[in-house]
Amino acid sequence: MVQISPSLPPAAWRMILRGLIRRCPHCGARGAFFTSWFRTQDTCRGCDLVWQRNTDGFMLGALAINFIVTGSSLIFTFAIGVVASYPDIAIFPVLISTVAVTLIVGIFGYPISYTTWLAIDLMMRPLEPGEQANTSKQQ
Ligand SMILES: [Zn+2]
């Protein structure tokens, strides 16, 4: 096991990558904050990092990421459907595929948006001494 100094946080790209694959951005523990796809626990099971870092409005950043990604996929899917079937636009297949992609991205991207936002939050506000994670458990 590699010991990482608490004074040296993981590189930004590593934290983002860990967040994008639904791992703890700080320690990289798999499924760190999740008891199921949508249910979270208060701390990371790998490093005891507090999930919402004791700040009000933490969820707004994660919701914004989920909204932007879901909205982008909606626009992208709709545009591809319109361009692919132009000039006789197949409105119902385009709408059905757009709704399906939007639901899939929105629902399955929900926990990923939280771990990604936690990575961004850790980059903007590094851990303070009072909230240091348990580094002895880091992977
Ligand atoms: Zn962790």
**Whole-model pTM above 0.95?**
no
pLDDT, average across residues 2-6: 47
Judged against a pLDDT cut of 60, whether residue 84 lies above it is answered with yes
Cα of 50 vs centre of ligand 1, distance in Å, is: 9
| Sequence-distant (≥ 6) Cβ neighbours of residue 125 within 8 angstroms | 53
How would residue 134 be classed by pLDDT, with cut points 50, 70 and 90?
low
Would you say residue 132 has pLDDT above 70?
no
Q: Is the dihedral of CA 77, 112, 61, 103 positive or negative?
A: positive
Q: What is the pLDDT of residue 2?
A: 44
- Tally of domains in the chain: 1
Per residue in 95-105, pLDDT tens?
999 999 999 99
Distance 113 CA to ligand 1 centre (A): 16
**Residue 6 counted as domain residue:** no
Q: What is the pLDDT of residue 19?
A: 94
| Cα 3 to ligand 1 centre (Å) | 13
Q: Which domain holds residue 24?
A: 12-137
- Does residue 94 lie within any of the structural domains? yes
Q: How confident is the model at residue 6 (pLDDT cuts 50, 70, 90)?
A: low
**Structural domain contains residue 5:** no
pLDDT digits (tens, 9 = 90+) for 107-118: 999 999 999 999
In this prediction, residue 7 carries a pLDDT of 55
How remote is the CA of residue 125 from the centroid of ligand 1, in Å? Answer: 16
Q: Is residue 75 part of a domain?
A: yes
Of 111, 114, 80, nearest in space to 97 by CA: 80
Cα-to-centroid distance, 139 and ligand 1 (Å) = 9
Distance (angstroms) between ligand 1 centre and the Cα of 86 equals: 49
* The pLDDT of residue 139 is above 90: no
| Dist. CA 43–CA 60, nearest whole Å | 19
The one-letter amino acid at 39: R
CA 137–ligand 1 middle distance (angstroms): 8
Does residue 4 belong to any structural domain of this protein? no
- Express each pLDDT in 18-64 by its tens digit: 999 999 999 999 988 899 988 889 899 988 888 888 677 888 999 99
